[in-house]
């Protein structure tokens, strides 16, 4: 019969083996989850076509694919995520637009978004809108996240004024570089007062923006009610390229 000391050693050995097995199972689950996430991201990475809107008169009725990211963009872990510190200030972006553009165009984001007419939402509300001229088929693809996401902005832990400034800069940055489909992560705001505080403001800002054609709450794997897909209009450079393509 084993002594109490030997019994204690056996118990410790069993506990050690159980802990090692549990750790191995957890690591295996993490690897499997990463593989599933990568497969899911890949399945939604390719675009079926380019969004159409009423801002151009294209004979063929289809847009060319989104342009690749510019060389001056520094990607984060995913190539479709743009580092916020690399986004120029709104005033600098506006000046750059005007220098590049031969056609005068009003860029609304050089002015601050207003919070005067914000309608407060529920944290779990799924919201969306499209402006006049955006085809229902295009809006359906926006709603289901079927276009390739070109850039992402995360507003978690931002004050309202920080979020307002960063959102303006982000829209200008993406518009200037021809990023048509982007995502803004604002969170649900389940524990803010009032609830959905930032979410309600971001949604209102998208409606105010002259650069935004449509927006909709994201699919669950992109943040659901805590994020917005945003479809931007074409900048002058893309419009010119598209006209030349169909001349």
Q: How far is CA 52 from CA 55, 76, 181, 230, 243, in A?
A: 9, 29, 12, 14, 14
Are 57 and 39 part of one and the same domain?
no
Mean pLDDT of 223-238: 91
Q: Is the pLDDT of residue 77 over 80?
A: no
> What would the mean pLDDT of 102-122 be, rounded to a whole number?
67
Q: What is the H or E stretch that residue 215 is in?
A: strand 212-217
Q: Are residues 12 and 75 in the same domain?
A: no
Lowest average pLDDT, out of 20-29, 33-42, 96-105, 183-192, goes to 96-105
Q: Are residues 36 and 77 in the same domain?
A: no
Task: Indicate whether 37 and 144 sit together in one domain.
Answer: no
Give Cα separations from 214 to 37, 178, 182, 242 (angstroms): 27, 16, 11, 21
Q: The CATH number of the domain where 91 resides is what? A: 3.30.1370.110
> In angstroms, rounded to a whole number, what is the distance separating the alpha carbons of residues 127 and 130?
11
Range 123-141 average pLDDT: 96
Does residue 211 share a domain with residue 121?
yes
pLDDT given for residue 27 in this prediction: 81
Model confidence pLDDT, tens digit, residues 32-70: 766 665 554 444 443 344 565 544 444 333 334 333 333
Residues 35 and 102 in one domain: no
Considering the domain architecture, whether residues 64 and 143 belong to the same structural domain is answered as yes
Are the CB atoms for 132 and 142 separated by under 8 Å?
Answer: no
Co-location of 83 and 31 in the same domain:
no
Higher pLDDT: 15 or 235? It is 235
Q: Are 2 and 71 part of one and the same domain? A: no
Q: Has residue 146 got a pLDDT over 60?
A: yes
Q: How many domains in the chain?
A: 2
Residue span of the structural domain in which 234 resides: 45-245
Least confident of 51-55, 149-153, 157-161: 51-55
In 3D space, the residue among 219, 214, 152, 213 whose CA is nearest the CA of residue 183 turns out to be 152
**Percent of residues, the chain, with pLDDT higher than 70:** 62
Asked if residue 159 and residue 239 are part of one domain, the reply reads yes
| pTM greater than 0.75 | no
Per-residue tokens: 19 = 């802990």
Answer yes or no: do 35 and 114 share one domain: no
75, 39: one domain: no
CA distance 14 to 19: 9
């Amino acid at each position: 019969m084993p002594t109490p000391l030997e019994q204690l050693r056996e118990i410790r050995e069993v506990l050690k083996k159980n802990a090692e097995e549990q750790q191995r199972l957890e690591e295996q689950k993490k690897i499997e989850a990463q593989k599933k996430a990568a497969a899911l991201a890949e399945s939604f990475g390719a675009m079926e076509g380019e969004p159409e809107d009423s801002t151009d008169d294209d004979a063929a009725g289809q847009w060319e694919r989104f342009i690749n990211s510019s060389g001056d963009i520094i990607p984060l872990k995913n190539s479709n995520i743009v580092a916020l510190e690399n986004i120029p200030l709104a005033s600098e972006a506006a000046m750059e637009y005007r220098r590049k553009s031969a056609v005068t165009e009003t860029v609304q984001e050089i002015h601050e978004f207003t919070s005067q007419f914000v309608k407060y939402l529920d944290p779990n509300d799924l919201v969306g809108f499209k402006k006049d001229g955006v085809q229902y088929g295009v809006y359906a693809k926006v709603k289901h996240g079927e276009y390739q996401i070109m850039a992402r902005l995360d507003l978690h832990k931002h004050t309202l004024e920080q979020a307002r400034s960063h959102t303006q800069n982000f829209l200008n940055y993406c518009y200037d570089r021809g990023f048509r489909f982007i995502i803004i992560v604002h969170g649900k705001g389940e524990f803010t007062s009032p609830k959905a505080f930032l979410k309600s403001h971001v949604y209102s800002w998208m409606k105010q923006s002259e650069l935004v054609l449509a927006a909709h709450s994201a699919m669950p794997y992109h943040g659901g009610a805590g994020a917005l897909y945003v479809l931007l209009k074409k900048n002058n450079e893309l419009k010119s390229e598209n006209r030349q393509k169909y001349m």
